[in-house]
Amino acid sequence: MTPTTMTFFERFEADILAGKKTITLRDEAEKYYVPGSVVTVSTFEEGREFCRLEILSVEPILFDALTDYHAEQENMTLDELKEVIQAIYPGIQQLYLISYQLKGLLKVN
Ligand SMILES: CC(=O)Nc1cc[nH]c(=O)n1
């Protein structure tokens, strides 16, 4: 079944809404997003819905293949991005690069 939801840590919310973070790197469990589908996005911490995103692509990528270009799309330096990914997914090598575009903001409740 096509996933219809995605969560992000609250600290990424502002960058997503500002269009400064346009990709996310996820593990095997989240490789099933479908290009062209729209997902409702909520915070990981509180489950607060804050936007909808259209999934543009889902591609496998190895941790060691991450470049400055990927970091730029995450609004980070490459060192920061690698630290963040290692903190979320310790020891991971196989990642999935999900690119998306903002489809709409959700009202504050
Ligand atoms: C909740 C969660 O896993 N969030 C992530 C993970 C990887 N990248 C990202 O932008 N957000």
- Report ipTM (2 d.p.): 0.91
Q: Which residues pair with 41 in a beta bridge?
A: 6, 51
pTM of the model: 0.96
The pLDDT of residue 20 is 98
Residue 41, Cβ density class (10 Å: 0-12 exposed, 13-18 middle, ≥19 buried): buried
Q: Which residues line ligand 1 (CB under 6 A)?
A: 7-9, 12, 24-26, 44, 88
CA of 10 to the centre of ligand 1 (A): 10
pLDDT digits (tens, 9 = 90+) for 27-49: 999 999 999 999 999 999 999 99
The pLDDT of residue 107 is 73
Q: Give the residue numbers marked as catalytic.
A: 21, 24, 74
Q: What percent of the chain has pLDDT over 70?
A: 98
What CATH architecture does domain 5-105 belong to?
Roll (2.30)
Q: Enter the tokens of residue 2.
A: 């096509």
DSSP state of 99: E
- The ranges assigned to domains in the chain are 5-105
Q: For 77-85, which contacts have Cβ atoms below 8 Å and span 24 or more sequence positions?
A: 81/25, 85/25
Q: Which helix (H) or strand (E) holds 80?
A: helix 78-88
Phi, psi of 100 (to 5 degrees): -150, 165
Number of other residues whose CB lies within 10 A of the CB of residue 54: 15
Asked whether 58 and 95 are in contact (CB, 8 A), the reply is: no
pLDDT digits (tens, 9 = 90+) for 73-102: 999 999 999 999 999 999 999 999 999 999
